[in-house]
Structures are given as structure tokens and as C-alpha cells.
Structure 1
Amino acid sequence: MKKSLIALIAGTTMLAGCNLAPRYERPVGAVPVALPQGGVYPAAATDALDVSRIGWQEFFLDPRLRQVIETGLANNRDLRVAAANVLQARSQLRVQRSALFPTVNAGGTATYTNNIMGAMGAGGGAGAGNVSSDIEIYQATAGISAFELDLFGRIRNLTRAAQEQFFASEEAQRSARISLIAEIATAWLTMASDTEQLRLSRQTLKTFEDTLRLTREQFRIGVGSELEVRQADTNYQSAVNDIAALEASIALDQNALNLLVGTTVAQEQLPSGLSSDPVTRDALPSDVSSDVLLRRPDVLRAEHLLIAENANIGAARAAFFPTISLTGTVGTISTALSGLFKSGTYTYSASPGLSLPLFDGGQRAGNLAYAKASQQAAVATYEKAIQTAFREVADALAQRGKIGDQIQAQSNRAESARVAARLSDARFKAGVDSFLTSLDAQRTAYAAEQQLVATRLIQASNLVELYRSLGGGLGGEQPAGAGQTAAPQN
């Protein structure tokens, strides 16, 4: 019996290295080797920074914005959900990994039996009394029950799948963190832009109010016409409307920012406007290889899920082979509690078992086909994740390549419009130009200033988006499962 058990264990050990999962190969060719260059795309920056090594504390220059982001990382509820998902995946991995090891149970029993037999009297007749005997049996055991010997890698592949799903949940948390940083920054910049627009509208309202007062006074004394009063009032009411709309927008901006941060943002941390001073670093790379996209958390998450589906194929294939389990106990038994652990009371049992379904109505074949189809879907999902990342970076680079020209043109336009409005007003007061020309110049100057603020918002938001799309925001954090992503399976 002992020799048979030893032979069984030795045989299973030799087969333990068998793995029926297909060898993993990372899909290639989903995107071009290099990101777009030339044309509208910016030239390479000589002082470009490695985005994957820059933490958000270094990238964002405004101390108020850094404080808001730090608060958001501590309080955002979506980020807490992502952290809880990581804990759930880690617990599931522990549960699945436990199947690789036998569950050892210890137990003890005590049996008390009382037998009563009738006593025989003299001459063979029935006795006048009964004989009572007590039997005591004590037993202590330790053993394993139905432990599956993982000959064909079914359990190991299920464990690998759970491990990769855990890694994927960690990457999902990292991706949520990067997205949250970008969303908070964009919301803060949007509020800064609206605040700047409100300042501009109030300043312009004062100019329009002065003009309206002048035309009313001229109409009162018979120098001007009612038409001029109505035209001036049109500009004035337009600015009043803009102020009301911007005040509402700023309230909405703050509500959105509070939701992202997870608490009410302190007043001193809110933006006072959107000036020409940089809010972020702008020396970001433009000539990087598309391989940098492989380090993005959302792409790494898709790859971990692909490896998990690869392992599930191995588990489904293993189901076609016999399942061997082992039940065994060792212990001691005695008729006296004091003699339970004395010499000669040792006992053991071993019960190997083999199971191979002969007919299951196609269940195992269906499971294997499902696993293969899931793996094909995971390949497509991974390739789509890379293509999406490529498109996001390419879009951000395209916008960045021309945003400087837009800022310069809008600045020049706003300056020219301001000068034109000032000259037109002087010419009107000198009687050279009509009042309509002066009003039109004021409207043009106001619109040019508004467009300049909007373009500055686009520039600042573009840098945030480029930073996010290149995987910035985590500094030198080690990716989940680093060094294990492309581990081959034989």
C-alpha cells in the first residue's frame, strides 16, 4: 500500500509541469510604429520630459490646483470604488490560489458503548442478573479530503487567470487615478476660464453702460437719435445677459468640481481667472514611439485580461483529461484516553480516486469553445485599447501643433480690436465716424477678448489631455504585475 501511494505521488509530481494553455504572444501591428509627425504636428522639443516619470505634483504649477487634486485623490468616490475592486480581486485570487494546496483538517472522537448481557444460572438455567460491559474508543486524526492533483494545470491556469484579473483591477485603479487628475484639472481650468470671461464681461458692461448713458443724454438734448439709444442698449443688454449666464456657469463649474473632488473646495483654492501665466509644464514630448502607449494603465489592463483568457483556455482543455484526487488520514486510536498517543496506536488510510466523464452532452467542448471565443474578443479589445490610445495622443498632438499659432493670432486680433475700438470712439466724438461704426468696433473688441480667453482654455486643456493620454500622473509607480505581463505559457 505504501509503495503504491509513493508511486502515485511520484507520477503526479512528474506530470505537474504540464500546462495546456496556449503560449501567450502579445498582439502587434494594431497601430503604426511611430506617432504622427510633420504637418500640423509639433516638432520635437529639445527639453522634452519623460511623461511616465513625471508626477502630477511636478506637472501642475499652480499651488491651488495641486491642493485641489490632492484633496480629490483622497476623497473621490469613484476612486474608492476602484480601490475596493482591487481588494475584491485580491481576495478572489487568494481563494483560487488555495486550491493549489491541500486542506488539512484535524479532528478527534470519543465513543462510549454499553453492552448488557443476561447471566446464566447454575445448571444452565437463566441467571438471576445481567452482566454490563462498557467499551470506550478514543481517536485523533489529521488528513486531507478529496485534494485534486493538478496533473494537467487546470487549477494552475485558473489561478493564473485570477492573478491576471487582480493585476487588471490594479491597472483599472491606476487608470481611474490618471483620469481623475485630468478631469479635476480640466474642471478647474474651465472654472478659471468662465471666471475670466465674467471679469471681461463686467468690464465691458461698464464701457457699454457709459456709451448708453452718453447716447441717452444726447437724445435728451436733441443731439442724438432714438436709433442710437436702441443700438447702444442692445450692446448693454447683451453684456448683461452674458454676465448672468456666466454667473450660472461658474456655479455649475463649482458643483462639478466639488463632485470630482468629493467635498466642497475651499474658496481660496478656486481660480481667480485664466491669465497668460502657465498652469502646467509645456515641454512635453512630440516624437515618442507608439510603444509608450503600451505602458498606459488602460492598455495594460486590457493585456492582463487577455492573458487571463489565455489561461482559461488551458483550464478548459484540462477538463478533457482525468481528474485524480486524494483523500488520506493519519491518526491514533486507543481504548483509553491516557493511551491515545502511546506506541502501537498509529493508524492511517489513503484513498486515491480517478474521475473521467464519458458523456456530458458537449459541456466540456462548449466550455472550451467559449474560452477560445473569449480569448479572441480579448485580443480585439486589447487592440482597440491601443488604437484608442493612439488616436487620443495623435489628436492632442495635432491640436498642440497649431494652438501656439492660434494664441498668437487671437492675441494680435484682440489687441487690434481694442485699438480700433478706441480710435473709432475718438473719431465718433470728433464727428468723423458714425455712431454705428463705434458700436460695431466695441462689439468686435468684446468678441475678440472672449475668443482669446476661450483659446487660452483650449491650450491649457490640451496640455492636460496630452499629459493624460501619454500615461502621465503616476510618477515612477511600478505597473501592476511588472515583469509578468508577457510571461510565456507552455
Structure 2
Amino acid sequence: MTTRCGLSLALAISLLAGCATAPKGDIPPLDVPTAWRNETRDATTAVVIEPNWWQSFNSAELTSLIEQAQASSFDVAAAAARVRQAQAQARIAGAALLPDVSLSATAQRFKEPQLAVSGFYTAQLFASYEIDIWGGNAALRDSARASLLATTYAHDAVSLTVIATVANTYLQSVALRERVTIAERNLDNSQRILALVESRARAGAASPLELAQQRGLVATQRQELALRTQQSRASLAALAVVLGKSVEGFDIAATSLDEIAAPTASTGVPSALMVRRPDLAQAERALAAADADIKVARAAMLPTLTLTAGAGVGAEHVRNLFDTSLYNLAAGLAVPIFNAGRLAAGRDLAVARREELLAAYRGAIVNAFGDVETALTAVDGVANQRVAQAEALRQARETARLAESRYRAGAETLLTVLDAQRTLYAAQDQSVQLGLSQLQASVSLFRALGGGWSTPMPLAQLSPPHSY
């Protein structure tokens, strides 16, 4: 009979342990390309991505601003604070695996009717410990540790985002300053031609229509200059905000993109991207935490066994405190019977949360590959556009020179000169915009490839091991 009861108890424990363990299933792996579709660049000229990849742009001012952003950005500071919170939470979760020890001391004075005043003094040491039968406390610790890593990787992702934002905003600010200079130069040129037209109009060689047309062009150039100036100031203010600085008095020195290099990053094989992006590492660790949370939720549905012990001394007088010893030892078994489905709902919540994070993890992987392909397309596409734009700019300058020369000689109409001025200004402005696009495409490529980051611990491959 005793043997049968023992076997029944062992079977019950085995079944309960099975309830505490999350079921496993296979997830189809993601298709990882063997090569980048838009990789058409010369790999021998590509820059190996280092953690300080922004220095490859050869701009001391950009390097200085990024260093300031890393030290003063509010986003980075907030992410660092979240890491410290996760560290504290991990210590809290790990404490459940160790005994809880406390010390108490009491002093009582009481008087009963017809009796003298009496007292009682005690000093006791208490300890309690929950036996982790189903592994719920260990799973809680594992969840907190995984969450800590996820938060750490999130901090790295925020830092990378801030760096890329500073780089892009700085480049935009420099480009807008250059576009302001171009607008000023073209306004001066338009005013110079206006003076020529006014001179010819006074001599009767130019009609009022030609004079009105040139004056209209000058007004348009003034409007363009005012717009570019406004955009330049707004971009500079945005850069100051990203750096966590006051907009008042903030300024940069660069006025042209010509001295800033547009480096090409080494992409490597697509599969290596899994351990090069902090956001993917963050999503993977968040999924690992969700796996542990399921085990915690399942263990909460099972009985708990807690051991408590106490030892101390007590007496009616303090001088006799150590004459009498007190002690107790107990074991408590708690079995959840009815909780209106709360524990089962907690398990379902953990499972659904895990399914959400699984979808987010797989989506992050797909988005990461898409980011790299998009950046590669932009780098190569803008480079080809700049080659064609350089020739268009050369021809626009020559056209404007010839049109003005022929107009001065009376061999060409003002309409041709007006068209040549507009074409030249558009070509100059477009050239700067393409230069900015090429530099920002390089920034996007460095960011898409992880910015030189690498995971400090091995991650799961392209799919998590379990499904629920």
C-alpha cells in the first residue's frame, strides 16, 4: 500500500512538472540570402566598419559633435537609466533563489488587574526559503537576466540611432548652408544681369517686357534665398536639440560638403548581419525573457513548498535574556485551488506575449535585411546620378556664359538668358542635394550594418527554438 501511494505521488509530481514545462515545437527558419542583391560596389574600396565609423567621413567637426552627443544626449541618458533599472530588477529576481533572513527584537510592558507590572523581552532570527520545485524562481531570474541584456542592447541601439541622427542632421545643415551660398550667388548674378537690362532699356534696346521678366527672376531668387535661410536655421536648431544643447548661440563651422568624404562600408555576408545589429540582439533576448515568463506563469499554477525556521531568546528581564532559548521549524505547502481563472489567464497572457515577440523578432530580421538593401540601392543609385549631374552642371554653366555673352552682343533674346539662369541655378542646387543624398546614404548603410557593433554573447540563429 505504501509503495502504491509512493508511486502515485511520484506520478502526480511528474505530471505537475510536465505542466510547468512549456511545450516545444519547430518554427520554419527564415530564408537568408547568400549575397546582397544590390551589392554592385568594388569591395576592395569598402571600409571595414569600426565602432567609430563616423571618423571615416574625414570631418573633425562631425566627430566632435558625435562625441558630444554620446555624452549629453537625453535619449542616451534615459536608455542608460533603463539599463540600471534592469540591473536592479535582475538582482531582485535572483533574490528569490536564496533564503530570506530577518532579525526581530521586541520589548513588552503590561499590567493586569491586581498584579504588578511585568515585561517580556525577545530577540529572534527568522529564515524562510521557498523550494523551487518547478523551476519558477529560476525562470524568473532567467527572465530578468534576459531582460537586462535586452535593455543593454536597446541602449546600444539608441546610441547608434542618436549617432546616425547627428550625422544626418549635421550633413543636412552643411548642405543647406551651401545651398544658401548658391542662392546668394545666383541672386547677385541675376541682379547684375538686371542692371544690364535696365541699362539697355534706358537706351531703348530692351523692352519693358524684358525688364519685367528679369525683375521677376530677381524676386524669385530673393524668395529662394529666404527659404534656404529659413531651412538652414531650422536644421541648425534641430542639430542643437539632438545634441542636448541650447539653440541660442549654437553654430557649426562647415559651409560646404566638398571636404566631407563619402565612405563605402564593407557589407560582408548577409548571415553575419544577425550578430551585428543591436536591435536584433534586443529582440532575441526579449523573446528569451518571454520563454522564461511562460515557465514562471505555469509554475504559479502549481503547489509551493516553503520552509521557515526561527531561533532566539526571551525573558522577563533583559539581564536574563540569554537564559531561555526559543526556536521553531515549519514547512508549509500551498496549493492553488480556486482563483477565478487568474493563474490560467496569466499563463495565457505569457504565451500570447511570447507569440507577439516572436512575430516582432522575425519582422525585425526581415526589416534589417531590407534596410541594408535599401541603403545599398541608395549608395549606388546616387553615385550614378552624381556622374550625370556633374556633366549637366558643366553644360549649364557653359550655356549661361554663352547666353549672356550673346545677349550683350544683341545676338540673343533675354528669354534665352532667363532660361539659362534658371537652369544653372537648378543644376547647382541639385548638385548639392545629390551630394547630401550620397553622404546620408553612406550613413544609412553604416547604421543598417550595425555601426560596428557586435553581440558579446552567442545568439539564437534565425528562429527561436520553441513555439507555443
How far does residue 415 in structure 1 lie from its aligned partner after superposition? 0.9
Answer yes or no: is the 8 Å Cα contact 2:275–2:459 preserved in 1.
no
- The separation in 2 between residues aligned to 1:114 and 1:375, in whole angstroms, is 61
Report what 1:29 is aligned to. Answer: 29
- 1:425 paired with 2:397, answer no
Q: CA RMSD in A?
A: 2.9
Report what 1:258 is aligned to. Answer: 240
Structure 2 alignment gaps of length 5 or more: 1-16
- 1:406 paired with 2:406, answer no
Answer yes or no: is the 8 Å Cα contact 2:237–2:247 preserved in 1.
no
- The separation in 2 between residues aligned to 1:137 and 1:268, in whole angstroms, is 72
CA deviation vs aligned residue, 1:216-255 (integer Å, no higher than 9, x gap): 1111111111111122122211211111111111111111
How far does residue 394 in structure 1 lie from its aligned partner after superposition? 0.8
Identical columns (%): 29
- 1:49 paired with 2:47, answer yes
- The separation in 2 between residues aligned to 1:180 and 1:283, in whole angstroms, is 20
Answer yes or no: is the 8 Å Cα contact 2:241–2:247 preserved in 1.
no
How far does residue 102 in structure 1 lie from its aligned partner after superposition? 1.8
Q: 2:67 aligns with which of 43, 47, 70?
A: 70
How far does residue 402 in structure 1 lie from its aligned partner after superposition? 2.2
How far does residue 74 in structure 1 lie from its aligned partner after superposition? 1.8
Q: 1:85 aligns with which of 82, 85, 94?
A: 82
> Which entry has the higher C-alpha Rg, 1 or 2?
1
- The separation in 2 between residues aligned to 1:187 and 1:56, in whole angstroms, is 17
Report what 2:6 is aligned to. Answer: none
- The separation in 2 between residues aligned to 1:98 and 1:19, in whole angstroms, is 25
Aligned-partner SS, 2:43: coil
Structure 1 alignment gaps of length 5 or more: 1-16, 118-131
How far does residue 28 in structure 1 lie from its aligned partner after superposition? 6.5
Report what 1:101 is aligned to. Answer: 98
- 1:378 paired with 2:357, answer yes
| 1:147-162 map, 5 Å | 147-162=129-144
| 1:54-453 map, 5 Å | 54-56=51-53, 58-110=55-107, 137-145=120-128, 147-264=129-246, 270-280=252-262, 282-334=263-315, 337-341=318-322, 345-453=324-432
Answer yes or no: is the 8 Å Cα contact 2:236–2:251 preserved in 1.
no
Tell me the TM-score normalized by structure 2: 0.87
Question: In structure 1, what residue type is equivalent to 2:349?
Answer: Y
Runs of 4+ in 1 over 6 A off after TM superposition: 23-28, 113-117, 132-136, 265-268, 484-489
CA distance 1:348–1:388, change in 2 (3 Å): same
CA deviation vs aligned residue, 1:335-364 (integer Å, no higher than 9, x gap): 66445446xx44421110001122333222
CA deviation vs aligned residue, 1:64-110 (integer Å, no higher than 9, x gap): 11111122222222222212222222222222222222221112345
How far does residue 488 in structure 1 lie from its aligned partner after superposition? 8.5
Question: In structure 1, what residue type is equivalent to 2:444?
Answer: E
- The separation in 2 between residues aligned to 1:67 and 1:301, in whole angstroms, is 28
CA deviation vs aligned residue, 1:405-450 (integer Å, no higher than 9, x gap): 1111111110111012112222222333222112211211111111
Question: In structure 2, what residue type is equivalent to 1:319?
Answer: A
CA distance 1:220–1:351, change in 2 (3 Å): same
Question: In structure 2, what residue type is equivalent to 1:68?
Answer: L
- Work out the number of aligned pairs and report it: 448
